[in-house]
Amino acid sequence: MADDTIDYKAVIAVLEKRRDALNTAIAELRSQAGLSQDAGVGADTEASGQSSTTEEPSETVVRTDSFYNLSVTQATRKYLQMVKRPRGTKDISNALQRGGFLSTSANFYSTVYTALKRDSNFVIVKRGLWGLAEWYPGRIKPKPTKTNEDQSEEAQERKPKRKARKR
């Protein structure tokens, strides 16, 4: 019988290399399908029982320079187009920062939320989830709210003019 010793270190190295290649391919497919990295086969985040607002999007989706030198709304639009599904404000703000968005804001979450709330290109799909308005063409648009300037102009128009006093 010949020397049948197995070089386990070499076998393990080969298998680990194959596993890494498979993990990379799976991560890429998950990101293209809009699935979380930890969702089961064929399961998206709703089906797996995870909240979409707390789910961490795939790290492979966002490059470190994806949102460099963009505004909050431009970067959010780009991110939502990349993941092709609604995301929560926390997911969006984390992704923007991972993608190279520079901000000096003390509360970046609030900055993102306010920017999205003011821009009609974004809609709240359901509580805590933002989507692109173009994804929902048949939605009923809310009536625009009056700004402080509009209200103060109306108040000025309603006030009766004072008559000048004679002295």
CATH number for domain 50-138, candidates 1.20.1180, 1.20.120, 1.10.10, 2.40.50: 1.10.10
> How many residues comprise the chain?
167
pLDDT tens across 36-48, in order?
Answer: 555 444 434 333 3
Would you list the domain boundaries of the chain?
50-138
- State residue 118 phi and psi, 5-degree precision: -85, -15
The three-point CA angle 156-160-165 to 5° equals: 120
The terminus-to-terminus CA distance of the chain in angstroms comes to: 128
* Residue of 6, 57, 58 lying closest to 28 (CA atoms): 58
* Residue of 64, 53, 36, 127 lying closest to 90 (CA atoms): 53
pLDDT of res. 128: 82
pLDDT tens across 62-85, in order?
Answer: 777 878 888 999 999 999 998 889
- Residues of the chain short of pLDDT 50, as ranges, are 39-60
- Print burial letters for 46-66: b (CB count within 10 Å at least 16), e (below 16): eeeebebbebebbeebbeeeb
pTM higher than 0.85: no
pLDDT of res. 119: 92
pLDDT of res. 98: 87
